Amino acid sequence: MKIPSTLDLDALRSFVIGIESGSFAHAALKLARSTSAVSAQLKKLELQCHAYLVVKQGRHVRLTPQGEMLMGYARRLLALNDETLRALRGELLKGEIRIGMQEDFGESLMPGILGKFSRLHPELRIRARVDRNAPLIAALAENSLDIALMWQPPNSPEQGELLTRCPLEWIYHQDVNLDDLLANGKPLPLVMFDSPCLMRSRAIECLDNAGIPWQITFVSHSLSGVWAAVQAGLGLTLRTHFGLPENLLTAGSRLPAPGNLGITLVQNVSSSEDSQMQAVFAELIKDAVAGQNG
């Protein structure tokens, strides 16, 4: 009986990290290896699989159909390997972690982060809350959240760890004739959250400073409501690229530049065990945010 060959777990890890970080050069940095060493591991995997796994796309790479198939298996193999080692070493985390995310990050980042975290620590319970900035800040103050990813509060910019700054964009549907509105001096219809809202305040201030008339035509209590109204052609909104529906457009330089907002990670540490859980979760969040902005 022929013994099947065994996939190299180190090579699989380089493969997964390379795809998730957008390039194998970034993977080499994370793994503290040379780019040539990581490339050699990829070649080894392709030889073992008898298939090309990636193709170049500009400065980045994308998966081939065989690469997509391997990616799913690779994640499961690595998760089982890591769980095995943690269990043998007595390092599996137990208990509960309570996390919060601003609505913009809920759909785009939350599923991937929760999936990775649960695979790393299957015995740890996760309680997740997706909400707007103000409720998340209140929950942190009340110690009902352990960690939260949110927009940087303007009144307390020192709170938490600033991960990055994200450009704001004027977003609308093609049914809104933006050029006609601007040419004829008509008020721009705005789709916004109810107050208080960082982006609502920024949008109004930006248009007022530029002398552009505006009127709020739709107010929503949720981000899904904002996106639905914009897709229905009810007006423009001001958001970032996080969760941006594919059928919407950005105004670019036709409207005044609204600047950017910081993304902040805030943690509450009440015990050494909580600190360990939060540290693991924080690293997953940082990687996810870096991947979105990369």
Question: What domains, with CATH codes, occur in the chain?
Answer: 9-89 (1.10.10.10), 95-293 (3.40.190.290)
pTM: 0.63
As given in the structure block, the two tokens for residue 248 are 């919407």
The residue among 267, 270, 276, 287 whose CA lies nearest residue 100 is 267
Helix (H) or strand (E) holding 19: helix 9-21
Amino acid (one-letter) located at 67: G
d(CA 208, CA 137): 29
DSSP 144-208: --SEEEEEPPSS-TTSSEEEEEEE-EEEE-TTS-HHHHHHTTPPEEEEEEPSS-HHHHHHHHHHH
The pLDDT of residue 187 is: 92
Bridge partners of 55, per DSSP, are: 62
DSSP 60-129: EEEE-HHHHHHHHHHHHHHHHHHHHHHHHTT----EEEEEEEEHHHHTTTHHHHHHHHHHH-TTEEEEEE
The 10 Å CB-count burial string (b at 16+, else e) for 136-162 is bbebbeeeebbbbbbbbbeeeeeebee
pLDDT in tens, the chain (294 residues): 566 678 888 888 888 888 887 778 878 888 888 888 888 888 888 888 888 998 887 777 788 999 889 988 888 888 788 767 766 665 556 677 888 888 888 777 888 888 777 777 777 788 888 888 888 888 888 888 888 888 887 766 567 788 888 899 999 999 999 999 988 889 999 999 988 888 999 999 999 999 999 999 999 988 889 999 999 999 999 998 888 888 999 988 889 999 998 888 888 765 444 566 777 778 878 878 877 665
As given in the structure block, the two tokens for residue 123 are 């015995």
Query: Is-contact 160 131, C-beta < 8 A?
Result: no
The pLDDT of residue 271 is: 44
As given in the structure block, the two tokens for residue 147 are 């960690």
**Phi, psi values for residue 265, rounded to 5°:** -110, 120
Say if strands 161-167 and 124-131 run parallel, antiparallel, or are unpaired: unpaired
